[in-house]
Amino acid sequence: MASLNLNHIYKVYPNGVKAVNDFCMDIEDKEFIVFVGPSGCGKSTTLRMIAGLEEITAGELKIGDAVVNDMEPKDRDIAMVFQNYALYPHMTVYDNMAFSLKLRKMPKEEIDRRVKEAANILGITEYLDRKPKAMSGGQRQRVALGRAIVREPKVFLLDEPLSNLDAKLRTTMRAEISKLHRKLQTTFIYVTHDQVEAMTMGNRIVVMKDGFVQQIDSPRNLYAFPCNKFVAGFIGTPQMNFFAGKLKLVQDKVIVTLDGTPVKAEVPVDYFRKVDRSYLDGEKPVTFGLRAEHISADPDKYEYKAQCRVSHFEELGTDCQIYADFNTESETTVAESPTKVIAKAAAGEQFASDEVITVSMDLSKLHLFDAETEVTLAPSIPESVALPCKVAKNKLDFAGGTLELPAAASAADGEYLLTVPVGSLSFGGLLEGTFDREENINGVRLIHIAAGNRILFAIQEDKEKTYKQGEKIKFALDPKKISLTDKDGNKVVCALAEDNKLDGKVAKQKVQVLGEDGKRKKELLFSLLTSEATFPCSYSIGMRLVAGGGQNVFNKNLEFVFTPYQVHIAEEGIAANVNRVLDYGAESFAECTVGETTVYVSVEKDFNAKEVKLSLDTDNIVIIEKEHQIRLV
């Protein structure tokens, strides 16, 4: 039993292939995690790094409390099951299962107990004397599982273990592995390219593409709230329908139109409460997604209706799948039409080719994606809300009430668009709204606050606090996080940059020091160099830089990323000129120039120097290797 922590893990193969990028995840004890994605997306590489079969390029891997980056596979207390069972053909099932324990010189009685118990769990007791060749594929895979079970590992790693089995056996073994997980009460990590396997087995699923994690979520959330078009299309059969279209806000309704079709629907704006309103202008191209199960050939099933022309249909026994086109005049075949649609009908229904039918749609299940980036327009936790506001005499008047603008966020009188990031809202304060609803998003409490005629979002850290419908909520806005945009699109107030960036290098030096035993010994000292200043850095950070960047890390260009709180005014350090001091009321920041770069530094309220030296908090900053964009620390 063990938890795992993958902290900014990267894998770059010697040939330069960047197979895994910035993989971050906490896996809890006893979870069943599935890594899924198309071939080549980096799932096996990640699993092999966890197993210790592949070196980790950068990042930190913990199993339980121990950092295992440099630990041998045999010491990691894990067991791996592969697609090809890799059984020894000349050994009996018993000996195959006992082999690794014999190597460890475990007492015979203990080996016997473990092998028999595993055989019992897997239902292969009667085959213990057989050789693998006298067994079916499913039975061999069970032996391979048995060989892992007898080791009583903390973590089970399974790499496409069912791919060699036929479809029927795969379904049975799927259920058996889930059962096994429940019985063994330990952590499982399972790799597959099959989304059905992922959906049916995982407590949580990691969807990967091109070496990047796309989304980590429960099967239900992946299906209901895909974070981008790729995940939306990858999860679920038949594949989600996608269409190009536009959204236009007219009073409290949004008019949804599908390009190249007469399809038009007026839906309540509340369906899109998390969507940035700039997408509701009737012009910005949007990609719609709607699953077949939310489009019915029964015109009365859902509220919104549209016509489509049937191409053909498939009887599936449980229901019927219709292939059609929302463009009833379309000249192209359905497969090539951008307005093609798959809808559902009841089992046994019949449709004629070219018949124009009326379907009904559940548009509360409509997914929206940016046409270019393909990222969802309604993320589970929205980044920010933009809403109209007025400024008069430095008082900001918006949906939630009025707010005194501090000097650093001041603007001329007028009307603006106010951007309120979710992280800028905190509870308690002078502004007031009413509790509308609450969502639990993977343990994060997102509170919807009705303010004026808009909804604002805030994250409630307090696990105990409960709300009643319509309850008044007091909240505050962090002035350094908001921004104001004028009618011409100019940002007149910008949120304070959360991160500063400076280019630099790392250096090492061997020095002689006096040990506690009075003997001289050599020690490595690391330092970070940037903007003609040098800062000592801890040995552990130095070693992580070497581990991730290789021995030639000392020649590499690095980027130091740090918040305004991780840099301080000091006696020695980076020479900087102060342009101005930003006064946010409760906090002040100096806007400094270092060479060509602007750096923001948290300062005392009465700060007024013009030239300063800056010191970096080297224990806490982020360090990126620039050429390959690898986060080393």
Q: Which residues bind ligand ADP (CB under 6 A)?
A: 13, 15, 17, 19, 37, 39-45
Q: Pick between residue 37 and residue 382 the one whose CB is nearest to ligand ADP.
A: 37
Neighbour-count burial for 598-629, b at 16+ CB within 10 Å, e otherwise = ebbbbbeeebeeeebebbbebeebbbbbeebe
- Tokens representing 633? 């620390």
Min dist. Cβ of residue 234 to ligand ADP (A)? 13
Smallest distance, ligand ADP to C-beta of residue 146, A: 25
Smallest gap from Cβ 191 to ligand ADP, in A, equals 6
Strands 414-421, 483-485: pairing kind = antiparallel
- The three-point CA angle 482-253-324 to 5° equals 115
**Residue with tokens 């750096």, as numbered in its chain:** 599
Identity of the residue numbered 423: G
**Shortest Å, Cβ 11 to ligand ADP:** 8
Question: Is 92 in a helix, a strand, or coil?
Answer: coil
Sign of the Cα pseudo-torsion (233, 235, 240, 244, in order) = negative
Between 212 and 435, whose beta carbon lies closer to ligand ADP? 212
Distance, CA of 237 to CA of 239 (rounded, Å): 5
User: Looking at beta carbons only, is 37 or 146 nearer to ligand ADP?
Assistant: 37
Q: Least distance (Å) from ligand ADP to the CB of residue 34?
A: 12
For ligand ADP, the closer of residues 210 and 503 by Cβ is: 210
CB of 163 to ligand ADP, least distance (A): 11
Q: At closest approach, how far in Å is the CB of 50 from ligand ADP?
A: 12
Query: In whole angstroms, how close is the CB of 4 to ligand ADP at the nearest point?
Result: 18
User: What is the spatial distance between Cα 597 and Cα 594, in angstroms, rounded to a whole number?
Assistant: 5
Q: What SS3 class is residue 153?
A: coil
SS3 call for 273: coil
Contact 442, 217 (CB under 8 A): yes
Which residues on neighbouring strands pair with residue 63, listed in sequence order?
A: 4, 66
User: CA geometry: angle at 230 spanning 294 and 280, to 5°?
Assistant: 65
User: Cβ 38 to ligand ADP, closest distance in Å?
Assistant: 7
Q: Which amino acid is at 33?
A: I
Taking each continuous run of H as one helix and of E as one strand, the counts in the chain are: 9, 41
In angstroms, the CA 456 to CA 448 distance is: 6
